[in-house]
Amino acid sequence: MKTLEQKMEAVSAARRKRIERRAATLIAEEMTLQRLRRARNLTQVRMAKTLGITQDGVSRLEQRTDLLLSTLRKTIKAMGGNLSLIAEFPDRPPVVLSGIAEVETRSAPVNRKHSHPRI
């Protein structure tokens, strides 16, 4: 049985480059928040200052598997990016979702007491 290295040696240089580019793309598509922060050359301390939380808070945030979209959006923004949500279906092109977890600005607080009539 051949190793991956042995198989790659048999591939042309041009093909190897294409494989390496594709591998890098696939790896970049799947990153944890910690790996993304590190790829952006940001420390937990710097992220904490930007987010207004402690370094320990950043560490806990990076370990979570379930985040509010608003928290994820703020974290990505603190890294200098913008969060986009894309819904993918097998029978149609991807759809970019908008209006989810975006910061809402209101001129006055909403009075929820009277927003729904009691039955």
| Domain extent for 28 | 11-103
Domain contains 79? yes
What tokens were used for 31? 């990153």
Domain contains 91? yes
Residue 4 CA, chain-centre distance (Å), reads: 31
Indicate the SS3 state at residue 42: coil
Would the pTM count as exceeding 0.75?
Answer: no
Domain contains 112? no
pLDDT, tens digit (0-9, with 9 covering 90-100), for 55-97: 999 999 999 989 999 999 999 999 999 999 999 999 999 999 9
Domain contains 45? yes
Q: Where residue 86 sits, what CATH number does that domain have?
A: 1.10.260
What tokens were used for 75? 């974290």
Amino acid at 11: V
Domain contains 2? no
| Residue 21 phi, psi dihedral angles, 5° rounding | -65, -45
Domain contains 89? yes
Total tally of structural domains belonging to the chain: 1
Report yes or no: 86 and 94 within 8 Å, Cβ to Cβ.
Answer: yes
